[in-house]
Structure 1
């Protein structure tokens, strides 16, 4: 008890210390922690903590995005033409409760995720693999208890067996996602979570687990356990019963500190070891090169961002359309359905200027809407350059010459308080309007929540939006962006029969070379059809106290798919 009191005191007074102790890691962030329940973890703030308390069946091998290694599993086999996966589970693994992990816990975890699956939970992609649908039983009547129960079972040998309705080459990568971390069945039921039975499953269909009892009282197999928490502080302690190598750092304090200046000062004083920064321009000016700080640059970026050009703008009387005609005072709802318009806009964006002004020279223009570090990315696919002459050429062809002759007035929104989004739209506005005095692009800020909702309904004419990966597979990006039934389809309303065919073929084969060939075909077709303006990707960087060392904070050991593993750090 005395030990707990000492740690609790440290949690409160650490901001006043001259330097944090060598056995304690102090992390400061501006963000809240929405949940600590793995089943609904779908944000970076939550996963940063959940990933250190819980573990998945398998995980990424160091910095590799392609090699998966056992974690709570020890090995696995694939059979039945790629539709059956059988996992041997690690023996002697303890939960923080003291209970020993069994196959029943792993089965319960996956079934719980399928039962409670919702668009906000991040379980839609594992549901798609195991039930053939992204939806839960309330939204898709084909999802029955029998289907859920059959998809994951423990056999007589105590092995965990997954049975898929169709081949899914990304299935293993999906199992490495935070949301599939194993929870204890008996403990969860005891504290009021679903009991794992058919008798009660309907009561939990699509249920929001954000504030669940498991979120309040987490219980994983990971190297750290939660000791206490309040609205602004979380205190973790190394778990004595951990099955793996024991962490060298005993205590971890995660503090919510909204003010950037306060976080910066804490890092420079030595009160904090890791802080949330303020963006490259701010961090380079105020943090880089300062005593006691290690800066690591040139890290891979696994997000992709584009400006969508909506080919079927929805909404009766949508004010973004102006007159709704090609009369110089507006645009028709299908303005972007002419490929010449899309190509004109694509040639009018200054990619190098964006890299220089927004990314401070640390950016990369990609050929496809997926990370260049992912298998399937083809650097040989053509890409657009800033070329006013070519932009003019295509605008003169657009709509049988009517665009150039009559001009147009387009209104586009951008995310309020986002310098990057605003600058991108300002670049586009300036360059488009310089081509023809009859061209007018009006831009205006809009709250992000409203933009997301309206874009999902297809009511935004243009929207700059990005995607961060759920799992390290090209499908998570390619289908999201390019499929006519993909997650982002309502934002662009672009449909190409060949692309849809190639995407489905890529989903149905485990042949890596064939999948890569298909993705190259999609990339080249997308270049020709120009459904999006591909916004350059920034180069990642990180920084932390020089007292820290360990593979995850080095360039060679950094993995953008995983949270920072505290157990792999040491501090002097």
Structure 2
């Protein structure tokens, strides 16, 4: 009897010790937003790619929190002209591939896996996906298809541009491209070719690649499975419950992670995120800024506030040629005081009226509580060096009134208008910015009427693609740390937002293309200043702020290193006391 009691006590102590060790080795992360797919060529949202950096390795990576200093990862060296891995003309990059690296299924990484992964990233080109990030420097195009969906690239051009030479992968660019290595450090995810082909993914041949161009999300074997070389592997993804579990890759080439399990869960309610963190039900939480001050007084919680971000958000956009078909956002569809015509925002004075009607400083100091910097242009300071030569709008209702009175040869002021500004339902700051603009514009003339509408993210994307929204609020988080990643999508005629607005300035296009090939920062800055001032004169976008980031963690979570490029948390260096 005594022996049985002693054995039970020992078993209980052992279970408690195991549970305590398990808690020490695991991390519970509560975040906003949902994962879209585990396929690195499909997803293009911050939540998903915040996860994928932990599952897939890239050829290079950013050193700590630096945006400019790179270090080797699957490539054993960072290419430079000095070490001979970048050709003198700046077009050819050589990446020596690390030996002895294992995929999560235990097979060994080869240079051919790297080549296959880069080609798959280029040629899959899912609509709305990230392929353009490598297509632009390597093939000189932003898409593999034209506006009608016809394939416009040649497979052999891609095969010649990305090739294996011995243990090296060699990439030849279409033209010099200053931020190429920064893109590689963020987007060169490497998958196992053998694993992919066995599961009916693209087989890597010219004969079949078009069948896998612009594939559907759930048709990919990588949708809910992965086989990377990263420090963690996906153990389970419960899509319905919005929960995902990562397990440590004990065979990771740089050493096994100290954290053994990471539980990631989507929690949309801000107050719930806060309560989970305070109670210890979450170790890490993506909390709302309104709770930051309260949590800073809690000794059990560490708040990482005002973290630098490569983000411009919100930005308010005008659509030049509105799709009027079954459109509830344009009122009567006429300039009669009860609606707007399709080309309403084609008038530059009208757009300038809205630019001057936004209270930039009040939005930053009051709505954003000072968490960020006033946005002068599309790119945050640091990526460009703003000086007095960069023109900027400021809040001035008298100037706004002056331009509104000129718009449409006086008809806007005389007749008035009615239309809707749209934002996504989870975009609180976008809603507030829209409310500020509405209030100020309507104060100028009782005939000015603006409605506001929040829609779900899928509906917002659909309305953007169809150009149904006369005016809309959205933002941008950088894909890589370079001004080109802001000026191209915002201003270039083939950029994501310029296309959605129907905006085109051929001179700005040429300057943007010239700037990305220029490696001298001062010369690039002068080019971006010219582009910036073209956009200022055209008044196509209202830039508000560059917001900062915020994470909160239990105080026993250590070695958190934030890098704004990652869009999420890189868990590998972290541990719990």
Deviation of 1:319 after TM superposition, in Å, equals: 4.9
Q: Is contact 1:433-1:440 (8 Å) kept?
A: yes
**259-268 or 95-104: bigger deviation:** 259-268
Alignment correspondent of 2:37: 35
Residue of structure 2 in register with 1:145 after alignment: 155
Q: Distance in 2 between matches of 1:190 and 1:41?
A: 22
The 5-angstrom pairing of residues 173-188 of structure 1 reads 173-178=182-187, 180-188=188-196
TM-score for the superposition, normalised by structure 2: 0.87
Q: How many angstroms does 1:368 deviate by?
A: 0.5
2:576 corresponds to: 571
Task: Please give the alpha-carbon distance, in whole angstroms, between the structure 1 residues aligned to 2:429 and 2:237.
Answer: 35
Aligned residue number for residue 389 of structure 1: 398
Alpha carbons 2:100, 2:109 under 8 Å: kept: yes
Work out the CA distance in 1 between the residues paired with 2:99 and 2:20.
Answer: 44
Root-mean-square deviation (Å): 2.8
Gaps of 5+ in 2: 1-14, 80-84
Structure 2 CA distance for partners of 1:211 and 1:60, relative to 1, 3 Å: farther
Whether contact under 8 Å (2:286, 2:550) holds in the other structure is: no
SS in 1 for 2:53: helix
Query: d(CA) in 2 for partners of 1:487 and 1:35?
Result: 21
Distance in 2, matches of 1:544 and 1:295, equals 6
Report the Cα offset of residue 545 of structure 1: 1.0
2:284, 2:551 within 8 Å by CA — same for their partners in 1? no
* SS of the residue 2:550 aligns to: strand
Contact 1:27/1:255, CA 8 A, preserved across alignment: yes
Q: What is the correspondence of 1:48-59 to structure 2 with a 5 Å cutoff?
A: 48-59=50-61
Could you say if the C-alpha distance between residues 377 and 189 of structure 1 is closer, same or farther in structure 2, counting changes exceeding 3 Å? farther
Cα deviation, 1:216-250, whole Å, max 9, x if unaligned, reads: 44222112223344344433332222111442223
Change (3 A) 1:36 1:321: closer
How far residue 387 of structure 1 moved from its aligned partner, in angstroms, is 1.2
Residue 137 (structure 1) shift: 6.3
**3-state SS of 1:425 partner:** helix
Compared with structure 1, are the counterparts of its residues 235 and 454 closer, same or farther at alpha carbon in structure 2 (3 Å cutoff)? closer
Secondary structure, counterpart of 1:198 in structure 2:
coil
CA distance 1:123–1:44, shift in 2 (3 Å): same
Whether 2:541 is the aligned partner of 1:536: answer no
Equivalent residue pairs, number? 550
The answer to whether residue 304 in structure 2 is matched with residue 302 in structure 1 is no
Q: Determine whether 1:422 maps to 2:427.
A: no
Give me the whole-angstrom Cα distance separating, in 1, the residues matched to 2:41 and 2:423. Answer: 32
Note the C-alpha offset of 1:524. 2.2
Residue 378 of structure 1: how far off its partner (Å): 5.4
> In the superposition, relative to structure 1, how do residues 362 and 379 fare at CA in structure 2: closer, same or farther (>3 Å)?
farther
Displacement of 1:568 after TM fit?
0.9
**Is 1:254 matched with 2:267?**
no
Distance change >3 Å, CA 512–CA 133, structure 1 → 2: same
Matches within 5 A, 1:208-287: 208=216, 210=218, 212-231=220-239, 232=241, 233-257=243-267, 260-277=270-287, 279-281=288-290, 283-284=291-292, 287=295
Deviations 1:130-185 (A, max 9, x none): 23333336934332321221121001x3211112222222222221224x211122
Secondary structure of 2:54's match? helix
Q: Which of residues 318, 323, 328 is equivalent to 2:337?
A: 328
Q: 1:561 to 1:51 in 2, by over 3 A?
A: closer
CA contact 2:46–2:567 (8 Å) conserved in 1: no
- Aligned equivalent of 1:559, options 557, 564, 568: 564
Distance (whole Å) between structure 1 residues aligned to residue 386 and residue 465 of structure 2: 27
2:520 paired with 1:511: yes
**2:200 maps to what in 1?**
192
Q: Is the 8 A contact 2:231 2:249 kept in 1?
A: yes
